[in-house]
Amino acid sequence: QSVLTQPPSVSAAPGQEVTISCSGSSSNIGNNYVSWYQQLPGTAPKLLIYENNNRPSGIPDRLSGSKSGTSATLGITGLQTGDEADYYCGTWDSSLSAYVFGTGTKVTVL
């Protein structure tokens, strides 16, 4: 049972924007940095965002991350069919002494 809560699914038409929320607490998001991962069907997860809002090389600026208090958000603009995947937030939890992932969000392009 994850300590980070995400909506099970979000959807939008091609070219539109989606946002995915990740809600936690002071022991995780509130005092640590958040990263985001994309998992395409049948593949390993891939890092999209680290340290709340930084993109690794090769990740387009259509993707963005932000954090406020004990919540974080991943935004995807200019939605493409290739964005259909599961998305997970993650961060260190200082109380659990463990890394925690969000419950995961499935993005569907209508």
Interacting residue with other proteins among 19, 46, 77, 84 (CB under 8 A): 46
Q: Which of 31, 45, 43, 42 is CA-nearest to residue 89?
A: 45
SS3 77: coil
> 46 or 62, CB closer to other proteins?
46
> Rg of the chain over CA atoms, in angstroms?
13
- Determine contact, residues 58/69, Cβ cutoff 8 Å: no
Task: Provide, rounded to whole angstroms, the least separation between the CB of residue 25 and other proteins.
Answer: 15
> 56 or 78, CB closer to other proteins?
56
Residues in contact with other proteins by the rule CB under 8 A: 2, 31-33, 35, 37, 39, 43-47, 50-51, 56, 86, 88, 90-92, 94, 96-104
